[in-house]
Structure 1
Amino acid sequence: MATSKIVSNTRVVRASYANKARVTTAQFRVEANQEIDLSTVKEGEVILRNLYLSLDPYVRFTLDETGGDMPSSFRQLNDPFYGLGVAEVVASGYEKYPVGTLVSGNTGYEKFTRLSGLNDPNTQSDIRVLPAHARDESKGVPLSNYISALGMPGLTAYAGLKVLGIESKKTIFVGSAAGGVGQLVGQLAKVQGLRVIGSAGSDEKVLHLIEKQRFDGAFNYKTEDAREALTRLAPEGIDYYYDTVGGEILDLVLQIINEKGKILSVGMVSQENGKESYPIRNLNVIARKGVSILGFIYWHHLQYFANGELDDVVRPLLERKEITYREEVFEGIENAPTHFVNMLDGKYAGKVIIKIADL
C-alpha cells in the first residue's frame, strides 16, 4: 500500500467576474491549507511543484463570464486561475514526465498542480520539458527566463518577427516596448540590423529601452504626441509595426506607415480591462498603400519550442549579454492578485513573475 505524502497547497481562485469593468483584487480569493496527497497520483497524471508563475494580460479574459476565445472551462468560478509556469514534477503516473523533470506549461495559480489525462491521445498537452541546462544559472540566465525570454513572450517575439519577414536596414516600431514581449522584439530586430523605435508609459522605461536595450529611440506615449514622436524618431518612415496596443496608435500608424508596410497584430492592450473598443478609421490605407496586417497567436508557432530553435538562438544572446531581459519577480503565490491588478494597470516594467518556490 502506498504511503501517504500530504503537502499543503495554497491556490488563487476566481471569486467573481469583472466582465466589462476594471479588474480588482475582489475577483480573486486566496485559499490556503488545501491538502494534496502525492501518493494518490493516477496513471496518466502528474503533480507539479510550481516554482515560477507568469502574470499575463490574456488571463484577464477568464474574468469575463462570456465572450472572447477562452473556453468555458477556463472561466469557472471557484476554480484556480491557470497561467504559464515553470515547475518540477514531484509525483508521476506517466513515464514521459518522470519525477524530477523540469517543465513549463499551463500550471495553476497555486503551489501544486495536478494534471490528468496526459496519456489520452485525444488530449493535447502543452507541457514542455525544459532542457537540462535550464537548471544552470551560472551563465546569467535564470530559470525564470523559461516563462519570459525563453518562454511564451520569447516565442511571441521571435516567431512574430519571422511572420513579419523583417529585412535589415528598415525601421520597426514596437508598441508597449518595455513589456514582456516588446523589449525582446526590439532587441532581436536590432541584432538583425533594423532601426528600432518603441513607445513606453514612463520616462524611466524609455531611458531603459535606449540605454540598456539598444533601442535607437523611444518615447513616452503618456506625455509626448505620438505623431510628432514617430516623425522625429523615424524620419524615413515606419516599415514594420509590432502591435500589442491597438486603438488610436494603430490608427495613427496606418496613416504614416510606408508603402507596402507590414503590421503584426499580437494584442490590443489599450482596449482590455474594461476599456471601450476604439473604431479604426484608416483601414482604407491597406488598399491605398498595399499594407499588410497579419494576425498572430503564439500557439500556432510551438514548433520553435519543440525543435529547440528558440533556446538555441536566444539563450546564447542572453549569455553573451548581447540582449538583456527585464523581469519583475515578486515572492509568494498569495500576492499574485495584487501584482496581477498592478500589471494590468501598467505599474511595472518588464515581465511580471511570481516566485513560488526555490528549485
Structure 2
Amino acid sequence: MTITQNIRTNTRVIRASYANKNRVTQAQFRIETEEIDLNSVKPGGIILRNLYLSLDPYVRLTLDSEGSEATAPMRILNVPFYGLGVAEVVASGTDKYPVGTLITANTGYEKYTVFEYADNPYNFIRVLPAHARDESTGVGLYNYVSALGMPGLTALAGLRVMGVEAGKTIFVGSAAGGVGQLVGQLAKAQGLHVIGSAGSEEKVNYVVTKLGFDSAFNYKTETTRTALARLAPKGIDYFYDTIGGETLETVVDLINEKGHILSIGMLSQENGKEGYPIRNLNLLAPKGATIHGFIYYHHLNYFGELDETVRPLLERGEIEYKQQVFDGIENAPEHFINMLDGKYAGKVAIKISDL
C-alpha cells in the first residue's frame, strides 16, 4: 500500500438546485472548498488529482428533480457534479492503482476525487497507456476525454454497432460536435457518403471544408426534410442521432429499407425543452429498419482499438478534431452553460491542473 502524506485544498462545483424545465443558469452551481488529507486513503481506495474534465450534455439530466430510478444517485443536491476526467493517482490503498498511475474515470467536478473503493464499476476507471504521457507528438493528454476518450469511443463503437458498409449514405446529427466530427471522418475513411447537420453557416462550412463531409446543412435555416431531399434523393441508410425529436421523426420517414438509426442522445429535448412524441414508428417494421439505443459504457472493449487506430491518425494530422480547453475548475459552470446554449463548436473540456 502506497500513501502520500499531504493536506490539499479541494475546490468543488456543487449541484445547488434543479433547473427542471428551465434553462440552466449559474443558480444551479455553487463553488465550495474543503481540505483533503491524502494520508486518509482507505484500503482498496484511491485519491485522484484531476487534470482534465470533460463537459458533456448528458450531465444536464442531473439537474432534473425527477427521472429514472437509475439516475437518482446522479441527481442529489449539495454534492459535486460528476463527469469523465483524466486524473493521476496521488494516494493509493491498492496495489492495482499505484501512485502515479494515469487514468480516466468518473471524477468529480473538483480538484481532487476520493474513491473509497476503487473497483466500484461506476467509477469507470480506465488505466491509460504509458504513451499517454508523451505529448511531444502533438497529442495532448486532454484528448483522453475527447477523441481518445468517451466521444471517440462513442463514434467508433457506434459505427460498429450499426454495421456501416462502404458505398452507403450516413446522416450525422450535430456534425460539428465532440462526437459527430469524428463519426463523419471515420465514416468517410470507411467509404461512406456522409451528410451532416449543424447550427450555423460557420459550422456547416467547417464540417465540409475541414472534416471532409460530402455535404452539410444548417438546421436553423433549412428543415431536415427539405435538406435531405436535396442532399440524399435516394434516401439514407444510417442516421447517427444525437438530436431526437422532430429530426428523428423525419428520418424514420426517409430511412431506406434495412436502415439503421443509432440513438445516443436527444439534444433537441435537453436544457428544459419539452419531449417530442415520435408519431411514425409504425414505419420501422415494413422497412425492416432498426433503432439502436447506445451508451458508451456498454462498449468499453473498443478502447484498445480506439487508441491503436485514432491516436496515430491524430499524430499524423490525418484527423481534424476541434476542441476547446478552458482553464480552472471554478469556471466549469460558465462553460457548461455556454455548451448547452450551443456557443461552442467541438468538444469542451476544463483544464484543472498540469500533469
Same fold (TM over 0.5): yes
Which residue of the partner structure matches residue 49 of structure 2?
Answer: 49
Q: Are the counterparts in 1 of residues 4 and 90 from structure 2 also a CA contact under 8 Å?
A: no
Number of residue equivalences: 353
Q: Are the counterparts in 1 of residues 323 and 347 from structure 2 also a CA contact under 8 Å?
A: yes
Q: Does residue 58 in structure 1 map to residue 54 in structure 2?
A: no
Which residue of the partner structure matches residue 300 of structure 1?
Answer: 298
What's the CA shift string for 1:265-322, capped at 9, x where partnerless?
Answer: 11111011111111112212202322111111111111112xx121112111212222
Q: Are the counterparts in 2 of residues 177 and 198 from structure 1 also a CA contact under 8 Å?
A: yes
TM-fit CA distance, 1:124 = 5.3
1:284 and 1:5 map into 2 onto residues whose CA distance is 61
Q: Does residue 115 in structure 1 map to residue 115 in structure 2?
A: yes
AA aligned to 1:8 is T
What's the CA shift string for 1:186-217, capped at 9, x where partnerless?
Answer: 11101101011100011111111011111111
Q: Are the counterparts in 1 of residues 106 and 123 from structure 2 also a CA contact under 8 Å?
A: no
- What is the TM-score normalised by the length of structure 2? 0.96
- One of 329, 332, 339 as aligned partner of 1:343: 339
- One of 127, 146, 149 as aligned partner of 2:147: 149
Which residue of the partner structure matches residue 222 of structure 1?
Answer: 220
Which residue of the partner structure matches residue 332 of structure 1?
Answer: 328
Which residue of the partner structure matches residue 316 of structure 2?
Answer: 320
Alignment of 1:110-259 (within 5 A): 110-118=110-118, 125-259=123-257
2:296 and 2:62 map into 1 onto residues whose CA distance is 18
Q: Does residue 357 in structure 1 map to residue 353 in structure 2?
A: yes
2:310 and 2:49 map into 1 onto residues whose CA distance is 26
2:277 and 2:66 map into 1 onto residues whose CA distance is 22
Q: Are the counterparts in 1 of residues 47 and 90 from structure 2 also a CA contact under 8 Å?
A: yes
AA aligned to 2:300 is L
Instruction: Give the SS at the match of 1:71.
Output: helix
RMSD: 1.5
2:320 and 2:69 map into 1 onto residues whose CA distance is 32
Q: Are the counterparts in 2 of residues 61 and 70 from structure 1 also a CA contact under 8 Å?
A: no
Which residue of the partner structure matches residue 283 of structure 1?
Answer: 281
Identity score, percent: 71
AA aligned to 2:248 is L
TM-fit CA distance, 1:64 = 1.5
AA aligned to 1:19 is N
Q: Are the counterparts in 2 of residues 109 and 333 from structure 1 also a CA contact under 8 Å?
A: yes
In structure 2, stretches of 5+ residues that fail to align are none
Q: Does residue 270 in structure 1 map to residue 271 in structure 2?
A: no
Which residue of the partner structure matches residue 25 of structure 2?
Answer: 24
Q: Are the counterparts in 2 of residues 61 and 68 from structure 1 also a CA contact under 8 Å?
A: no
- What is the TM-score normalised by the length of structure 1? 0.95
Query: Residues 274 and 154 of structure 1: is their aligned pair in 2 closer, same or farther, counting only changes over 3 Å?
Result: same
Q: Which moved more, 1:195-204 or 1:136-145?
A: 136-145
Q: Which moved more, 1:56-65 or 1:185-194?
A: 56-65
2:223 and 2:123 map into 1 onto residues whose CA distance is 45
1:73 and 1:298 map into 2 onto residues whose CA distance is 19
What's the CA shift string for 1:191-249, capped at 9, x where partnerless?
Answer: 10101110001111111101111111111100123222212222332110010100111
Q: Are the counterparts in 2 of residues 203 and 220 from structure 1 also a CA contact under 8 Å?
A: yes
